[in-house]
Amino acid sequence: MSHIAFDIEDSVGLVRLARPEKLNALTPDMLRDLIAAIARAETEPGLRALVIHAEGRLFSVGADINIWSALSPEAFRTEWISMGHRAFDTIAGCRLPVIAALHGMALGGGLELALAADLRVADEDTTMALPEVSLGTLPGWGGTRRLPDIVGRSRAKQMVLTAQRIDAPTAERWGLVNAVSPQGSALDVARGLAAQICAQAPIAVQLGKKIIDGGAGETLHQTLEMLAGMATQTTTDLEDGIAAMRAKRTPDFRGR
């Protein structure tokens, strides 16, 4: 993978941003590789949680400005905005709980990546911001939707409209991060949180994530269809319906 690494430790998948020489600025190739990493995690037997972290002195400064600023409006739409949404929606929709371990800075698209995770842990020296208005643009990868869901509309407007950077204690107070860790320990704390999740019943954990997201309006139709399908999967009606189709006869549905 191009600047995205994937490792497995016991029941935890580790997805690592590996472009430290460019401050983990996100590129289209990295977005595609994030999608591939989540797809692999979805099918990897035994995995129960994911942790997203980064090499180098900070988590991510966001989208690589040297790439997106040179795109035409149409290329910007198809190669940049759409790809980022696909990547971050894939992270948010992963059946496994996802934890982001932040350090240094998480800015713009880097913070939007963290917002797509279920839980966030940050080193005590981490700063976070959506600074796009200071460049004359707006958050483009879900920040205006996910940030209000997490910190509320007023706090989200404060961050988006002022480009304000907030520190880790403020982020914890606002509910943006779940825990603040001593400097240099966010990944270890995230691993510990993942271990607590892995110790629980995995099907119940995955359903709990799905129902909470569905109740908040996130892919509600998918949640309802999944639960309905699971409910009918064990019925004798379904068993006889399939048998009747194969035998080319009329099914004998009995409501159980």
Tokens of 225: 């269809």
If you average pLDDT over residues 106-133, what whole number do you get? 97
pLDDT at residue number 88: 95
My answer on whether 87 and 21 are in the same domain is yes
* DSSP letter assigned to residue 220: H
pLDDT at 222 over 70: no
Please tell me which of 199-203, 213-217, 245-249 the model is most confident about, judged by mean pLDDT.
199-203
Beta-sheet strand order (sheet of 166-167): 105-107, 127-129, 166-167
SS3 label, residue 247: helix
pLDDT at residue number 69: 78
- Other CB atoms within a 10 A radius of the CB of residue 54 amount to 26
* Positions marked catalytic: 112, 132
My answer on whether 49 and 136 are in the same domain is yes
CB 226 within 8 A of CB 210: yes
Q: Specify if 25 maps to a domain.
A: yes
- Domain total for the chain? 2
Q: Where are the alpha helices (DSSP H) in the chain?
A: 28-43, 65-68, 73-75, 82-92, 109-115, 143-151, 153-162, 168-174, 186-198, 202-215, 220-233, 236-247
Q: Predicted confidence band at 239 (pLDDT cuts at 50, 70, 90)?
A: confident
Q: Specify if 256 maps to a domain.
A: no
pLDDT in tens, 21-61: 999 999 999 999 999 999 999 999 999 999 999 999 999 99
Q: Specify if 94 maps to a domain.
A: yes
pLDDT in tens, 142-154: 999 999 999 999 9
My answer on whether 129 and 73 are in the same domain is yes
Rounded Cα distance between 53 and 55, Å, is: 7
Nearest CA-CA partner of 52 in 86, 15, 20: 15
196: amino acid identity, one letter? Q
Q: Is-above-0.75 flag for pTM?
A: yes
My answer on whether 145 and 221 are in the same domain is no
Q: What's CA 100's distance to the chain center, in Å?
A: 8
CATH number reported for the structural domain that contains residue 170 in this entry: 3.90.226.10
Nearest CA-CA partner of 58 in 191, 189, 186, 194: 186
Higher-confidence position of 129 and 137: 129
Q: What's CA 105's distance to the chain center, in Å?
A: 18
pLDDT at residue number 179: 97
pLDDT at residue number 237: 83
Q: Which domain covers residue 212, as residue numbers?
A: 202-247
My answer on whether 143 and 159 are in the same domain is yes
pLDDT at 136 over 60: yes
Q: 94 Cβ partners below 8 Å, 6+ apart?
A: 38, 41, 42, 50
Rounded Cα distance between 217 and 223, Å, is: 10
